[in-house]
Amino acid sequence: MENKRKYVIPGDLVTTGPFRPEQNVILEGNKIISTSIGISEIYDDSVRVIPLTGKYIPKIDDLVIGKVLSHTSLSWELDINSCYVGFLPAQDVFGRDFSAHADELSSKLKTGDLVAARIANFDRTRDPLITISDRDLGKIDSGTLVKISPSKVPRLIGKRGSMIQMIEQATNAAVTIGQNGWVVVSCESHEGLLKAKKAIQMVNEKAHVANLTDQVKKMLESKSES
Amino acid sequence: MGGREATMVLLDENGIRCDGRKVDETRKITIKAGVLKNADGSAYIEFGDNKILVGIFGPRDVHPKHMSDTDTGILRVRYHMEPFSVTERKNPAPSRREIEISKVIKEALEPAVMLEKFPRTAVDVFIEILQADGGTRCAALSAASVALADAGIPMRDLVAACASGKVADTIVLDVNNEEDQAGQADMPIGYMPNLKKITLLQLDGILTPEEYKKCVEVGVNGCKIVYELQKKALTDKYFGNGSD
């Protein structure tokens, strides 16, 4: 366990002293103050608060699941469960020799399609630029979408992926987790799919419970016997 | 017989007010965070006989688009009284008073909310007064800041609010409806307890400089009482069964 974990709300003093403020904390004089409801963590030289609530804010290199909202002749717009829409340029899909006359965007991605994508670039001035030109990225053909709160994504993954590995092994399902809180589950067997979905929902609802891994394990095992 | 009582004892010789409180006592306050499922954040407050529900959406994109700001997010607040919130039916259309209180609450929340993190977006705050009994703006402001924290919007501090005033030549905390009607002064205060900064200060009535100082002091102490309850509401929701 990391040292000195503490429950904090906005305005709470996390610590004082020469620490570097990271996520969800601000420096006021020599005090480090939390700006969110969450759990504070103090490392050797830095302080951060892991939020327990809030919308997804895009971060470069995050894997996200997006849903195609619309397209122009040059780009797609994707709903990435954030306050900003994802911008996917056509060159990214068709390659550099893309021509707006010859290529029809809807032939590759239609409105409503699910896409696994990566945030390529994002700053304050423009909507997040996303890319699907990488291994394991691109259109998702099968599976069901489960929506969870983006702040619970780290809990669903678990320490070094322990939670999600356990769910995948117990149900034989393939789970793709977007950092934006959208999760795609696909499984050959219907029961496995239902069970995996139930486990994910359980993590979403009980993220604050301490022995959640055991509870989920119990749930996964109990169903397989009956 | 219909009209207002001609003589009402606002403060008796033992220092007890018309509703049985002491001069430095607030009404009974209960706050609950996260009461609505479909809103991003919400809170419900009972402040004496005031009952107020607050829902938050956002950050989300701004419509109409021309209202958006490329440098920062914007805060939009709607304070609305239900037709049944007062004794005589209130017209549900926004009145001059409601528009003003919306603006005042917006400006009292702005110093706390870190909108600059979300350029080109809006945070919408919807305040519904279900039942009013004097001091709704303070109760609404306190509930709104709990709801904003519940929505996960980064904030420098919570804003706690409480009114103080002058009744029967005495400075009292948390003026109720009767005292507001018959009293001499009413001063709503919004306060950020950790940063020790005042974000809202209004005064209706006449006070001497000494009384003014005392009034602010009493009001700020009231805000600290409210702050503890706001803190409890959020702690109960998020860390309920796991003790620290």
Read off the pLDDT of residues B128-137 as tens digits, 9 standing for 90 and up: 999 999 999 9
pLDDT in tens, B43-100: 999 999 999 999 999 899 898 999 999 999 999 999 999 999 999 999 999 999 999 9
Count other Cβ atoms within 10 Å, centred on residue B216: 19
Count other Cβ atoms within 10 Å, centred on residue B104: 19
Name the residue of chain B whose CA is nearest to A81's CA: B60
* Cβ neighbourhood burial of A138 (10 Å; 0-12, 13-18, 19+): middle
Closest-CA distance of chain A to residue B75, Å:
14
Cis status, amide bond into B92, omega within 30 of 0: no
ipTM of the complex: 0.85
State the SS3 of A167-212. Answer: HHHHHCCEEEECCCCEEEEECCCHHHHHHHHHHHHHHHHCCCCCCH
Q: Which of B2, A125, B107, B20 is nearest to B10 (CA)?
A: B20
Location of each CATH 2.40.50.100 domain in chain A: 6-51
Q: Is residue B24 situated within a structural domain?
A: no
Helix axes A212-225, A190-205, angle to 10 degrees: 160
**A217 vs A172, A212, A223, B212, CA distance in Å?**
14, 8, 10, 62
What residues make up the domain containing B223?
Answer: 29-236
Closest-CA distance of chain A to residue B12, Å:
40
B146: domain CATH number is: 3.30.230.70
Dist. CA A114–CA B16, nearest whole Å: 66
Reported as a pLDDT band with limits 50, 70 and 90, residue A213 is confident
Q: Is residue B8 situated within a structural domain?
A: no
CATH number for the domain whose boundaries are A63-140: 2.40.50.140
Enumerate the residues of chain A whose CB falls inside 8 A of the CB of residue B242. 208-210
CATH superfamily of A144-225: K Homology domain, type 1 (3.30.1370.10)
pLDDT in tens, A98-109: 888 888 888 889
**Bridge partners of residue A28, in order along the sequence:** A31
pLDDT at residue number B6: 52
pLDDT in tens, A122-163: 988 889 999 998 888 999 988 899 999 998 898 899 888 889
Burial profile B65-98: b = 16 or more Cβ within 10 angstroms, e = fewer: eeebeeebbbbebbbbbbeebeeeebeeeeeeeb
CATH number for the domain whose boundaries are A6-51: 2.40.50.100
Enumerate the residues of chain A whose CB falls inside 8 A of the CB of residue B114. 26, 35
Inter-chain Cβ pairs, chain A and chain B, closer than 8 A: 88
Residue B231 forms contact with A (CB below 8 Å): yes
Residue A54 forms contact with B (CB below 8 Å): yes
Residue with tokens 């950790």: B194
Q: How many domains does chain B have?
A: 1
Count other Cβ atoms within 10 Å, centred on residue B201: 14
Q: Is residue B143 situated within a structural domain?
A: yes
What token pair was written down for B211?
Answer: 């009384």
Name the residue of chain A whose CA is nearest to B235's CA: A9
Indicate the helix (H) or strand (E) that contains A225: helix A212-225
- Could you tell me how far CA A116 lies from the centroid of its own chain? 11
pLDDT at residue number A102: 84
Location of each CATH 3.30.1370.10 domain in chain A: 144-225
What single string gives the DSSP state of each residue in B174-240? S--HHHHHHSSEEEEEEEETTTTEEEEE--EE---HHHHHHHHHHHHHHHHHHHHHHHHHHHHHHHS
- Contact between chains at A12 and B114 (C-beta distance less than 8 A): no
